[in-house]
Structure formats: structure tokens, C-alpha cells
Amino acid sequence: MGIKDAIKKAQENDQSAFNYLLDKFWNDVYGFQLKRTENENDAEDIAIRTFSKAFDKIQTYNSKYEFKTWLITISKNIHIDLLRKQKSSISNTKTRDSEDEFYDIIDESPSPEDKLITEQNLAKLLRDIKKLKPHYQDVINLRYFQELSYKEISEQLKEPINNVKVKLLRAKKLLAEIIEMN
């Protein structure tokens, strides 16, 4: 599968095309962010967000530009947004001990989707999960009900850990939308 074919198939919502693009460009985006952030966790987090956003917005991709350039631009914007949020959070915080502690707090804080998911009544939540595609149901089940790590999920699904992370992000986002619609 070539890159142009993969993009076309991804625009038609072909999961294997998303996986192909993720595998093909993960190192480019991750490496780019690793140079910028000098922090493996942050680089990985931004890369996951980049692919999640890119896959979400794949319909808007303009073939005049290189796909890699488009991904890097998305990645750069996500990083800039995070830096802005950190600055505003830091200025609102009384303690300014070290940036490392701040990153730990950011990494551990649940996303709006996480909060929405955990606030749901269990029976209703299970019904909502059933509305997801089977592969999203699986990843939600393994992560939240069986409480497996990314590595364990990756081994169980026989998929690269990057796919698991992006798939979980996507699943949480879709589940949050289902919850909000009800």
C-alpha cells in the first residue's frame, strides 16, 4: 500500500489504512517532538494526540502538501497549545517548585473524556460501550475493566503499542460523544 492509497482508504474510514499511516509516520512525528520537548513521555503524548487529530481530520487533508509535513504542522500546533496551557496553569499555581513535578501532574490528570466516562452509571456506560465498534469496545474493556497496561493490551491484541494508544484515545473520544448525546 502506498501513502496516497493509504490516505484515500483512511478517508473512507479503513482501519488498516490508519494503522499503516501511523506505523509509517510515527517515528517522524515522535522524533520531531522528542527534539522539541527533550522528554520521551511528552513527545509520545503529543505524537498520540497528533495522530488522533490527524485521523479525525483526515477529510481535510490537502494532497498539495506532503502528508508528513501536514502531520508535523499538526504536531507543532498541539505542542504550542500545550505550552500555552502550561504557562497559564503555572501562573495560576502558587507553588513553582520544578517543571518535572508539573509534568507529572499534567500526565496524571484525567482528560475530560476520562471524567465523563467515570461519572457514568455502570449499566448505562455498558450500554454506551456496546454502541462502539467492536475493536473500540475491546480496548475500553481491557483498559478500564480489566485494568491492563498499554503493554499488556498490546500483547493481548497483538498490535503495536502505538496503535493501542491511538485506538484508546479514539475510543474514549467516541465514547464521550455517545455519553454526551444521551
- CA 177/CA 149 separation, integer angstroms: 24
Q: Is 39 exposed, middle or buried (0-12, 13-18, 19+ CB in 10 A)?
A: middle
Q: Give yes or no for residue 15 having a pLDDT over 90.
A: no
Q: What is the pLDDT of residues 121-155, one digit of tens each?
A: 777 888 899 999 888 899 999 988 888 998 999 99
For 134-170, give one letter per residue: b (16+ CB within 10 A) or e.
Answer: eebbbbbebbbeeebeeeebbeebeeebbbbbbbbbb
Output the pTM of the full model: 0.56
Q: Are 172 and 117 in contact (CB under 8 A)?
A: yes
Please choose, from the candidates 159, 128, 163, the residue with its C-alpha nearest in 3D space to the C-alpha of residue 144.
Answer: 128
Domains in the chain, CATH or no CATH each: 3-108 (1.10.1740.10), 112-181 (1.10.10.10)
- CA 10/CA 91 separation, integer angstroms: 41
Q: What is the pLDDT of residues 47-63, one digit of tens each?
A: 888 998 898 889 999 98
